[in-house]
Amino acid sequence: MSGFDAKPRSAGPVALAASAPTSRGTGVTPGTYPNSRDVEAISAMKDPVARNVAITQGYSDLSSAVGQMLGTENASWATFGTWASKQAGVSIRQEDMPKLLVDALHGAGDVTGPLAKVDDILRKVGLPALPGLSDIAQAGAKALDSVSQAIADGNQLVFHEVGTEFARFIETFQGDTAFDAAKTQKYLESFPADKPLLKQAFGHYAEAMFEKDPNKKAELMLLANDQIGLHEQTRLQPYVEKALNTPVKETFRDLLKQSIQGAANALPFPANLAAKAAIKSGVVDAALSPVVDGLASTFRRFATDHMMKLAVPGGALKLGNDLPPPAGMEKDLFPANLRTLENPELRELMGKLDRTPDSLHGTAAKDWSRLDQRMNYIIDLFRSRQSDPHLFDPPFGKRGQYPVRAEAPRVA
């Protein structure tokens, strides 16, 4: 199904029921999606792992409910949010990260070469070699914790904001059989003034609900998805910067210096004096700098490679690479209803965010800390995958049951 195969160590408070086919219609069965109170309860969970599982399931069930109202020909932002949250869970749990980091350090020439030179200098002044790479990698656990915490906090923030609005949308419009301009206007007036993109986006979902023209409907859905994506990524900016700018140099430098100082203190007199003098001279510090630089560089490459991914049904996308065409669409790139864009508001937004119009070349986000690079990738992801029916697959193979409970069975 997806590139996310590992089972979470604990589950959220959502009971899971066997999946059933989604039928087209405007009515949504109560208890099949998280309402506003459920979103609040899930967002308030303290265990980041359990909360992520519940968020991922919640997005999926919100997506299913919206699909019953608007149809499943076009994925909503919640549909994409399901898979982004599922991938976030890998980083939050740090699955196999310590071992993978050790392997990365062993294969990094910019670490092993400078490390050998430092060991030569230490031996000359009577000090033992630096800790092995396995021990050094343990220092990376602190940095990994910081990255994981930032991802978990961002996951929580976005679900609380955007999940609440999806729940309100369902609660407001489910069962409607025709567009009601007055009702829609009253609904839109309830949005906070500081969330204009969310207001615009859910207004477009309301329009799309009764749009008969499949091209216009697809464009309204894409416009709404892009607007929520821009809101979400703007709100996530400080969390992304925190995750990618974790002070890894300081972490590794402190470990190595403490190891060297401890070894010097443990030497008998007068060898300890000679070792301390060598340390004080700055020779050791100078030799350590290339090691620290190499460790930090390797860690960031590792974190980017293993954490900056997006799980999708059938695999995982590396955000630092150009977005590949969907299977079977290598020539056309985009679904039929989105190959030519006519909606003026959508065209204007795409003009601001899409650096390579109507192409997937140049979509790679080499620096994920930059909002413009993330959005350039995301809007093409939304456009190229919006009609993929597999995005509606339940992330854990089942649908949730609501309201949420204080405790729940482990996700199978």
Where does the pLDDT of residue 250 fall: very low under 50, low under 70, confident under 90, or very high at 90 and above? Answer: confident
Both tokens of 383, joined, read: 């456009």
User: Smallest Cα–Cα separation from 82: which of 52, 49, 57, 45?
Assistant: 57
User: Smallest Cα–Cα separation from 85: which of 129, 51, 44, 52?
Assistant: 52
**Could you tell me which residues come within 8 angstroms of residue 59 by beta carbon, excluding any fewer than 6 positions away?**
78, 79, 81, 82, 85, 159, 163
pLDDT in tens, 218-228: 999 999 999 99
For range 191-199, the mean pLDDT: 96
pLDDT in tens, 124-177: 888 888 877 777 777 677 777 877 888 899 999 999 999 999 999 999 999 999
Where does the pLDDT of residue 98 fall: very low under 50, low under 70, confident under 90, or very high at 90 and above? Answer: low
Q: Give CA torsion, residues 229, 234, 238, 244, to 10 deg.
A: 50
Both tokens of 195, joined, read: 């969330």
CB–CB of 389/404 below 8 Å?
A: no
Strand partners, 18: 398
Who has greater pLDDT, 161 or 258? Answer: 161
Where does the pLDDT of residue 314 fall: very low under 50, low under 70, confident under 90, or very high at 90 and above? Answer: confident
Residue 87 has pLDDT above 60, yes or no: yes
- Map residue 216 onto helix, strand or coil: helix
Residue 106 has pLDDT above 80, yes or no: no
Q: Is 177 exposed, middle or buried (0-12, 13-18, 19+ CB in 10 A)?
A: exposed
Residue 407 has pLDDT above 60, yes or no: no
pLDDT in tens, 261-277: 999 999 999 888 988 99
- Looking at residue 4, its pLDDT comes to 28
Length of the chain: 412
CB–CB of 379/226 below 8 Å?
A: yes
- Looking at residue 41, its pLDDT comes to 96
**Could you tell me which residues come within 8 angstroms of residue 16 by beta carbon, excluding any fewer than 6 positions away?**
57, 396, 398, 399, 400, 401, 408, 409, 411, 412
- Looking at residue 97, its pLDDT comes to 63
